[in-house]
Chains A and B, each alone.
Chain A
Amino acid sequence: MSETIKKFLYVNRKAPYGTIYAQESLEVVLIGAAFDQDVSLAFLDDGVFQLTKGQNTKEIGLKNFSATYRALGDYEVTKLYVEKESLEERGLTLDDLQNIEYEDEDDDYAEKPSIRLVTRAEMADVMADQDVVLSF
């Protein structure tokens, strides 16, 4: 395996259950996490709907994979960038999203928030700072 650590950004722009994109993206992130790269996730446009709390898929016969975002910290995926304008356009605030935390091993396993609220301009900076961008 290459020793060079690359910056990977997974861009999520689709709502969770209408298409398979969101779940596929999450699956790729979990598998890709084995390769010890510097992974970030971006949530913008309808992608912010992936992180809303209170999802219950019982009656649509699909797996509620929203719970899996909370496991990302275990996979050392700890940077989830959420775009402020995308939330606002959809009448959402951070309070409408799940609380997603990771345990910082270097800080006595202190629980820290994984979600980072950024403006559209800051999101553009995040995108421009990557080696690889994978969009879903």
Chain B
Amino acid sequence: MAYEVNGATIEHDEEGYITTLSEWSKELADIIAAAESVDMGEEHWAVVNFLRDYYEEYQIAPAVRVLIKSIKKSMGPEVGNNKYMYELFPYGPAKQACKIAGLPKPTGCV
């Protein structure tokens, strides 16, 4: 199973998470998001960028409550709350946003 980006083939697992993290690009993110029916706006990107920074620093994708707590601290309570985050990513802010961000499924998610 694979995504096609500008002629390149990027492998993903049965749930849509890419298998080689270094193959991620913003164009790929848009393609994954489209497959997930997520229309990427500024706040979606803020979350995706946050996740990528978090992974870069700590080598893990944060659990959803850690993500929301951190977003609340950096972007304020209007964005950093459960309800709004699920509006941005209806299938789960950690799971779905991680997929778009090209990261593995967060630790602790089944």
Contact = CB atoms under 8 A, between A and B. Distances in A.
B108 A34 contact: yes
A75 B54 CA distance: 13
Given A27-B107, A34-B108, A67 B66 contact: no
B108 A74 contact: no
Nearest to B65: A34
B6 interface: no
A68 B108 contact: no
A32 to B, nearest CB: 9
A67 B54 CA distance: 11
B63 interface: yes
B interface residue count range (under 10 / 10 to 19 / 20 to 34 / 35 or more): 10 to 19
A74 B59 contact: no
Contacts of B69: 74
A67 B57 contact: yes
B108 A71 contact: no
Interface of B: 54, 57-60, 62-63, 65-66, 69-70, 73, 107-108
B70 A30 contact: no
Contact of A31 (B54, B62, B108): B108
A64 B59 contact: yes
Contacts of B73: 109
A7 interface: no
A74 B71 CA distance: 12
Contacts of A71: 54, 57-58, 60, 62, 66
Nearest to A63: B59
A30 B63 contact: yes
Given A31-B107, A31-B108, A34-B108, A74 B57 contact: no
